[in-house]
Structure 1
Amino acid sequence: MVKRIDLIATKLKELGEFNKEGVSASYIAEELNLNRANVSNDLNKLVNDGKAIKTKGKPTLFIPVLEENVVSEVSTINKFSELNPSLYSAIEQAKAAILYPPNGMNMLLLGETGVGKSTFASLIHRYAIEMKINNLEGPFITFNCADYANNPQLLLGQLFGVKKGAYTGAEADKVGLLEKAEGGILFLDEVHRLPAEGQEMFFTFMDKGVYRRLGETESERHGNVLIITATTEDPNTTLLKTFTRRIPMVITIPTLRARGMEERFNLIKQFMMEESGRLGQSIKVSINSIKAFLFYDCENNVGQLRADIQLACAKAYADFLSNRKDEIKISSLDLPSYIREGLYKEIEHRKLWTKLIDINKRYCIFNKDEQGVIFEERTNDENIYEMLDLRTRELKREGINGIELEAEIERDIGDYFKKYMNDFNDKVDVTNIKNIVEDDVMKVIEEVIMFCEEELGIKLDKKIYYGLAVHISNSIDRMRRNRKIINPKLNSIREEYEKEFNVALDALKIIDIKLDIDMPIDEAGFITMFLSYNYENIKNKQNDVRVIIIAHGVSTATSMADAVNSLLGTKNVIGINAPIEEKPKNILEKTKEYIREHEIKSDILFLVDMGSLTTFGKEIENLFNVKTRTIPLASTLHALEATRKSMIGYSLDEIYRETLEVNNLYDNDILDYEPEEEERKLAIVTVCTTGEGGAKTMKCLLEEKLTFDKNLMEIVPLNFIGKENIYERIEKLKRKYSLVCFAGPFELDVNYPQFMLDDIMEGTCINDIQKLIDVEKTYIKMEETLERQLKNIDGAMVLKDIKKFNINITEALDVNISTNILIGITFHIACMIDRLKEKVIIDEFEGKEDYIKDNFNLYRIVKNACASLNTKYSIIISDDEICCLMNFFNNKI
């Protein structure tokens, strides 16, 4: 039987030949006589699979992708990452290590027995081949050091080779695995079993690329091999420090327990398909068996899961060969008792299970194809009553009775109708909203939205539709709980958007009559905001921060300002000289006159050198009603940092705080504003109107769908009151948190990733948000590696400074840098600073002068960003090193 999605794909190709601009879901639905919502759903699946393209704008159109023109750019490791999101940080670290110039970076994999360290290492090798990395496309050689742990001499001979006569029994020259791995990767498993002598031989090879076979004394052999090691033990107690220092990239592979049920489900599918490939036939697995594999206690991690699945498949294959079964089929009764225990935990994970496979599925059929998983449903002649009968017997067989049984069956009925009855709804597809809004309320909301659209002659954008629906639902809930709704901007909204406000008042009457509640007029103000912002972003009306330098001397301030303006190509910094003989009062009057003459209305950062000049800011603030901050003992470096931040668009307080961090020479008692020094938590900001209902809805949705450590990150609601103060609230949040992204019904004028409410509810942006979280988690994991590797500086401290360096560069260039490149930059800078602290001579960058000349703007930005590192760590980052850093960014601009 042809699947519906295949019919839709064929029709899309057929229509696409005549409609080059695309075809709508409604048109295809009419052509095939199918439900529009189902067609839309399948078209979006085709988009996700790379078989169609979705256009922006209204109406949404779909364009077929011709398979012969498609070139897959998704690497094996990226596909693996999508199926195993908990390994995202580990994979990004590995990619960074492989891509690290010139020949990659040696790695140490940490993890319990069975977590998949060997598989991960082979995946790294495949990635090197796919990326065509020079000198890493050779063989992948695996060696388990535990195999020869009782005979160290034989172990070293296996690895490095043996010269004839080296020891008794060495009757001929023997090539070692290191030599066989030339131009590729040597993977050393259980490396803690490698004797100290072997570790010393390896760190010599990793340092200089030279080694000797056992028994060789006169000549050295040269090799180019990337070393990947793995251990289940604590490397601090089992490996020499001189050995671990040569392995800068330490990657932790999480246990199966820590990897989440969806990942475990993906592993089960992968292993089943692999066994199908070995057997050359499909394998049919009951849903109960899948449940058992998904939830049983698998103490020895992925290795045990794979072995248990192989054992079950072998037994099923034996039954098939002996004619006890007419197909290769696994049922829960065939499984060992310790695996069947997983069935009794299914209720604990019911919500997740329903997300993976609904109750109407009976079997999974696996074949060796990558897409070869078919969920076999109940036959068409089964109705809900037959389904419930089967389900009841299934639950009783698992020992579930009484109230617990009734509750399960009640949920199953709800699941059945929720899943299938919605398919008959031909109205606007609001299924996702209906999951969180009561039916009677939803009907009223739909009526209100339809009324507003007709009265205003507009069609609400989907994100506004979603946002308004959720907002009205929460407002109604507040009134039912006798909670007040107050809109402090009501009068200004009513005056600015008179037409929309009058329509909103009539909309309130519909709600009052239909639901018998009395909505306050303040609610009309909120509804007006949704209606007036349709198709319009909320812009941040923000003035640039002006930087004014006041310093003693005939031309000190103006010279400093000229130097900064010249270097940064701006006129944003102003210099006001204060000759020694001139009274401070006259200098203050000169400053006031300059502000009046140039009609400066923006915030001002004063950089002063000493004395009474530090008090000017408060007087200027009171006289001109502008916000000021003052930094004393200012230098050219301070002026550079402050001006650069003002050019990017930072707020006054952000510029103030970060300029202060140029060095730590100042006593906070002389500062007019004390910056926060404590580590800030990460935060996702949810923007809503009431400050409670909508934010609570989004927070619950995000907490349900995202994986994050609540000790490191929070989801913070932001009360949206009006255009004028939303950005002031954001500034306050930025002082307390490191913001990751924003989520809400409106787009804001902020320099952070933003995700719309409708995309969150439909789940289309969850992976993007998760990646942002994982990037931050990757930085945290890098701290451990840096602490191991660095000898002269503190790993945690330098990581914080390098992260700021990365942010400064990417903001100045206005580019996004991939995680693996950021990791590479981070390790490069950390090791560079560590070397410079030891006064190690840096190699010259070939063609340095021409490279700087051809990329002067990038050179200026990187050199400027390096200034704070020079000051803090008392080093000088040479132009040779700056050119090396420029290489990381050069292909991004």
Structure 2
Amino acid sequence: MKRIDRVYEQLVDNWENSTLENILTDQGNSAQELADQLEVTRSNTSLELNKLVREQKVVKVKQFPVKYVAAESLLAIIPQLERIHLFEVQSLNEFLDDSLEGTQNSKEVFSVSQEIKKKNNPFDLVIGHRDSLKKAISQAKAAVYYPPFGLHMLLLGPTGSGKTFFANRIYEYARYENILDDKAPFESFNCADYSHNPQLLMSQLFGFCKGAFTGATEDHPGLVEKANGGILLLDEIHRLPPEGQEMLFYFIDNGSFNRLGESGIKRQAKVLIICATTENPTSTLLATFLRRIPMTITIPPLKDRSIKERVQLMKFLFRNEAKRIEKTLRIHIDVLNALLHTTNYGNVGQLKAQIQLVCAQAFLAHLHRSEEIDIRVKDLPEEIRQEWLYSTKNIERAKDLSEFVDVVTLIQPEDAIVIPRENFSEFNIYESIEEKVAALESEGIDSEQIHQYILTDLHLHIRNFVRSGNVTYNLDKFVDQEISALTSELKVLAEKKLNCRFDRRFNYYIGMHIDAFFKRGKNSGRLLSQEIEKVKTSHSLEYQVALLFREKIRERLDVELPELEVVYLTMLISSIETLDEKKKVSVLVVAHGNSTATSMVEAATELLGNAPIEALDMPLSVSPNELFERLSARVKSLESGKGILMLVDMGSLAMLGNKLEKATGSRIRTIPNVTTAMVLDVVRKVNYMDMDLSSIYASVRKDFLASVSLQEENRGKPKVILSICTTGQGTAKKLEKMLTDIIYESTDDSVSVLSVSALRLAKEIPKIVQKYQVIASVGTKNPHIDSPHISLEALIEEQGESVLRQLLNAPVYDETKKKERKNIVVRDLCEDTLKTYLIYLNPYHVTDMLIEWSEVIQEKLEQSFSNSSILKLVIHTAFAFERVLKKNELAYKETISGELHEIIELVTQTLTTLEEKLDLKICKDEKVYIAEIILEIIS
């Protein structure tokens, strides 16, 4: 008998003659239980069980640990269940409730199911429910039970402490206790999204009726209506403006509301409101609003939770990674020790990112090995590993840790707990690693190089995670005003000496560091002497700037910074520079003939803008030695430190890559059979995508190999360009007309425009791809198909239309027509946006005035703004005028830099005419924000 048959037979035998209560209580068998019965490994048992799930013979119950039950056993025990539709469920209880709803003779099953469900309290699954979260859970239970409809709650805690997760658990608990109906709604709303537009906020919360504003073509219920009978979570409640708070407490007091634009109708809703904030509520919320939220619950930060809880949390995060990898993890105690003690994580998200990086590095090392992955200290990020190696407390900490974990902790994929209402559709880094390794292996790249490439990608992944974090740049909130002002001076000094420009991150990082130096009593950390010398040598220019910083600080604050602090400032300046590094992969196109390579490069740079790309034409008369010398010289001149991609026309040139690497010391990748389309693709990826040499090389090879098979597949199908739009009808129609004009001017082939709503994209795309040959897609959403996508923003810029015409093999085109088309689309985009959001001002009139004003600004500055920049400037300024009417103007709380003063003066002068025509006066702070946009455009 095959192993899979043995597993299935054992599973069926286990539940033969069982009762409904037994199967609902136990929820089936785990892989480990079956493995023990059959005397085979748990991993092999799990493998067979998952095959049986895919074959729809076994139902998988995704709890902790994962359980399995044969479909035929369920049908035998529960005769009311005629057939099974779902084979992966959260629990058998809810699965049966849904499956049997409305069927005859199901009352008994439903009654037993409800009784069993009573045993599963959602709060019992929360890590820390008996310790750090005990008080919070007790408060939440009291609030939920308070008559008649519960108490509204305010959750306090730092970013990433788990406030949203806790709100979900409150909702699950209320359903578990039958305080809320099983199908009661849970709605979530982020107040930051509409913090500067009270009217739009009102329409989102309370809905609007047909004709309430331009574009309101039908009645629309708000979140309060949708949450009726359930819970509404208001995240970042501190971003809710006073008008919004007043709207809410009127609803809390009366339980009634009106939709926007509605009169004479009082609507009713019963909603339990949970608010969440990271700020001090007394300084950000109205006292009248706070009085109506009687229950305040504090969620502790990660650093304040016990070692036991943090270990449980790490195990939980490792379980999730094991589930995604589908392999068993063997985690050595030193890894947990290092993660637990070497870094003070601000939130769970940071800890999760580090654990994912550790798992990814270990996964890469075990890619072609067993089903188990060893995670050791060598897999830790360098900074954590070094800190752990030099710590003198490791043995003592390991003893404390051994109370909660073994020397090696085993984490099985089946151990992962699937949390209800959580989103698990995020990017899977392990799948990405497998795909990239396979692609690189197919190119014959050795394993050591592959390992290095993937490690670089992993660190970029974590760097992007850090980049995407929300950082508050208003320094005055965090540091002394004198340090804040000094930091602004240091920024000007650093920019002058380093010949570069820093954004506001400089003020944040440098200011916080200097402030921390004073707060910690001027006690610096420790760096080894050889590390100090290495920093001085490798970042000599930044070190000189840090010495100037020391002089400034001595002057202003009468404090002498120690040498070690100067070194730390050097590292900090260097790190900030690295975040904004603009170096790109260089490209060298080499082709035989007098102008072949030059023609391709000129076409690419004309269409897609300047790039680090050069052409080398090779007349057939050139000798091999001369050819090599020319190539070496060109490679050396192009080298920027990011490597060089060589695109060549013949295989003989491709053979020179390794020899050139040895001669020049540059990293080189070579792709043969170069075409103009390939050069265009490479320039696009170099200019507009954050990709390293290996990524561009693998991507281009993959894309152009795929295009050959795609051409065969598409032969005979009608050709179309997809027009995708979610904006108003004006823009959609103009976009279709613009594309039709471009096709008419570019090709004699039969190519039509097919308009698709972005909202119906997922449903329509499979049918379209099957029926048509899609040359390109254009518009507001990328359909992610095997053809180029041109964004609406790119289309109204030069490069977007140029790429489209290139795809249609177009001849040289009329610049005048192109400019006219762009202006029309920009105007329509402005009108469509303003029609949707302006309440008081006439969008048509304002659009015309502000576009003319933007032209005046360009003339005064002797600059030509891109269309996307004009769009941004016009819309922001229109909203500024609207805020004057609403008496809700923005306040600028940061220090105004010297370069901004001139732009503010220009804005003030040029806006005077508009202010007179509209009879509206914009305040100085609003003008500073407008000036910031202009400065960003011209910088």
Output the TM-score relative to the length of structure 1.
0.32
Higher relative contact order, structure no. (Cα contacts within 8 Å, ≥ 6 residues apart): 1
Output the TM-score relative to the length of structure 2.
0.30
